[in-house]
Amino acid sequence: MKKSIWSDQSALNEFQSLKNDIKTDVLIIGGGICGILCAYVLKNAGVDYVLAEGKRIASITTKNTTAKITSQHGLIYDSLIKQFGTEKALMYLKSNEEACNEYERLCQSIDCDYEKKKAYTYSILDRSKIEAEIRAVNSLDFDARFVNRPELPFDTAGAVCFDNQAQFNPLKFINHISKDMNIYEKTYVQRIENGVAITQNGKIKAEKIIVATHFPFINTHGAYFLKLYQHRSYVAAYENAPEIDAMYVDEDKKGMSFRQCGNLLIASGGGHRTGKKGGCWEEIDKYVKRYHPRAKLKYQWAAQDCMSLDGVPYIGQYSKNTPNIYVASGFNKWGFSSSMVAAKILCDMITGKRNEYAPVYSPQRSILRPQLFVNGFEATANLLAPSTKRCPHMGCTLKWNRAEKSWDCPCHGSRFEESGKLIDNPATKDAQITQD
């Protein structure tokens, strides 16, 4: 039951583990959609590369998404214009639209259940937010429409509609494009020393390195432990629910989102900062049974997303002091379009080409945002909290996740099984779980 619909419908290619020391021009660490797309773009550019994945490709975050391909990332464009100005907001929009168009081009020859859909961001109570977002998007010369009553079983204050967005089966897509790639699975990179990645079975020497590990794991550079936090979302798929013909997301982080997959309604919600409490699957089930009492639960799963300080991913040079190390993280729940953007930007940077969209995603931009102080408070509070159950990443106290039966870190989002075995990074080793 606790597995995604994509995992049940798709079998992925398998790759061997690293058995000896090797050399490559570019090493990609992380085999989710971002790492796979980086490898795909570099391969097509004729660049020598290797991808190292600690488990199986697409086995953590990518398999647990709702798989929407869209440039509509909630009510982001009004915020971007206020934070960065019209020019950079337009760069963000254009880069994500180009990413969506590239998926459409690729999926024409891939059997991955690709479907064009309208995308709606709705608000339950605040019409003014919707109207402000439409004005912002229209000012960027993009057609966003106000919809007074989206086809949902509850009342809203209105919604923003983007036409020509899409959804697909991510694992079918990855299974196709990963064929014949230079991938090593079950090859866990423990650390990087002078351009050499150390794994349990060998070393990988590389001229350049892309860290696509969801949460960047090198703590000595980039301050990502301050610039990112992680957020859990819960997803369920139901039979016997009325079909919907679009993708929907609530502008409120605590709201619900929906899409259709075949005859199943996919609903997600109940989210919370990793290590905190939330409504989880219980909240989703309560909603679905309220409006669709005949619905029958078919699948349940959960996802975890890295959230940046300002709503924009970090894509580019890892830090000022690491010229040959690159990063892609902080996708804020919009990993598919953001991963394609990252692949294009990083390939251009590695091959010495100018990318017009790189400035808006620079990891070296200002971190003086309100979320920085929230992240700092969480880290301080949980470092000082009395407990013997500590995260090996930076020492924060671990919290018990009752819904998923895991130990979760509220500082940076590392997660561990009840025994202490590592589930999610940025921690790179198991936790020592003892009784308080």
> d(Cα 286, Cα 297) in Å, to the nearest integer?
12
| Residue 238 CB coordination number (10 Å) | 21
Q: Say if CB 376 and CB 226 are below 8 A apart.
A: yes
The pLDDT, as a whole number, for residue 435 is: 61
Continuous segment of H or E residues that includes residue 210: strand 203-211
In degrees, rounded to 5, the angle at the alpha carbon of residue 16 between the alpha carbons of residues 10 and 17 is 120
- For tokens 């299974």, the residue is 175
Cα 81 to Cα 79: distance, rounded to the nearest angstrom: 6
Q: State the Cα angle at 191 between 224 and 316, rounded to 5°.
A: 40
Burial environment of residue 82 by CB neighbours within 10 A (0 to 12, 13 to 18, 19 or more): exposed
CB-based contact 17:50 (threshold 8 Å):
no
Rg (CA), the chain: 21
Q: Which residues pair with 394 in a beta bridge?
A: none
Return the pLDDT at 253. Answer: 84
Contact yes or no for 118/257 (Cβ under 8 A): no
Instruction: Specify the pTM.
Output: 0.95
Residue pair 52/189 in contact by the 8 Å Cβ criterion: yes
Mean pLDDT for each 10-residue chunk of the chain (436 residues)? Answer: 85 94 98 98 98 95 96 97 97 98 97 97 97 98 94 94 98 96 96 94 96 94 95 96 96 93 96 93 95 96 96 98 97 97 98 97 95 91 84 91 93 92 90 74
Element of type H or E holding 171: helix 170-177
State the maximum Cα–Cα separation within the chain, in Å, rounded to a whole number. Answer: 61
pLDDT at 103: 98
Provide the token pair at 368.
């003086």
Q: Which domains does the chain have, with CATH numbers?
A: 5-65+172-226+310-361 (3.50.50.60), 115-165+228-307 (3.30.9.10), 370-424 (2.102.10.10)
Q: Which residues of 59-74 are buried (b: 16+ CB within 10 A; e: fewer)?
A: bbbbbbbbbbbbbbbb
Question: What pLDDT is recorded for position 177?
Answer: 96
